[in-house]
Amino acid sequence: MVLSRLSQQHRTASELPRALAQDIATRLQAAIQARGHALLVVSGGKSPLALFEALRVLPIAWHQVTISLADERCVPNSHADSNALLVRSHLLQDLAATAQLVPMVADDLPLTTPAAMAQAASRRLRALGDADVLVLGMGTDGHTASLFPDAPSLPLAMDLMQSPACVGIELKNPPANAPYARITQNLSMLLSARHIVLPISGEDKIAVLARAKAAPSLSLPISKVLHQDRAPVTVWLTDQD
């Protein structure tokens, strides 16, 4: 499949967070004007923190914005390694404090199996509708959201014939710094977004991106986001300052 819905933006490391934040804010404001509300779906980890801090000070109608997640660790929302806590701490601040966060893990429900938690997350996220903007990330192994190459359930999660949903992910070799089962949007749900942005920085990740752009493969899950015709994707590449 050709990369017909893929575009690229280039910025220096110091410029990218502000430029991408402004692009996202413009898209959210347009969604508010068109439909009365906007849905922003973000990824966790350390990479988007500068983006969050640039976005949260931009003057849009945050009280009309709902924020949710592409993936989550199977931990309570108050846990130090929770993506929901990261979003509350780094994005829902300043002007963005009036936005509504809909976490993937419900605060009032006990932690159960990843599969059961994924079913509950599916109901919560499907009720929100399609994301106006989805912010993805990519690891050096080519994973995006929690769609890891070595996940036993990856083929099912990446099957575009599946309905949009969340799935449980249990890794054979979880990262030492985050040894948790996870729940993640499947590929169908990720590609239901109206626009996807993918910020990439560092020579190692740029090299992985080049491989992913060359051909789609389950060994590089991000490649399946790039090689598709459902959702437009903009890759934001960081050049050296």
Q: Could you tell me if residue 150 is inside a domain?
A: no
Return the biggest CA–CA distance within the chain: 47
Taking the C-alpha atoms of residue 170 and residue 210, their distance in angstroms, rounded to an integer, is 28
pLDDT in tens, 183-194: 999 999 999 999
Q: Residue 28: which domain range? A: 6-112+123-145+190-239
Please, are residues 121 and 86 in contact by the beta-carbon 8 Å criterion? no
Q: Could you tell me if residue 130 is inside a domain?
A: yes
Q: Could you tell me if residue 168 is inside a domain?
A: no
Specify the number of domains making up the chain: 1
CA angle 23, 28, 31 (to 5 degrees): 130
Q: Could you tell me if residue 183 is inside a domain?
A: no
Mean pLDDT by 10 residues, the chain (241 residues): 80 95 98 98 92 97 98 92 95 98 86 91 96 97 95 94 94 79 96 97 94 96 96 90 46
Q: Could you tell me if residue 155 is inside a domain?
A: no
Please give the pLDDT value at position 93. 98
Q: Could you tell me if residue 161 is inside a domain?
A: no
Domain harbouring 199, CATH code: 3.40.50.1360
Taking the C-alpha atoms of residue 87 and residue 160, their distance in angstroms, rounded to an integer, is 28
With residues binned 3-state (H G I as helix, E B as strand, rest as coil), the percentages for the chain, rounded to 5, are 35, 20, 45
Taking the C-alpha atoms of residue 105 and residue 213, their distance in angstroms, rounded to an integer, is 33
Q: Could you tell me if residue 154 is inside a domain?
A: no
Q: Could you tell me if residue 171 is inside a domain?
A: no
Please give the pLDDT value at position 111. 80
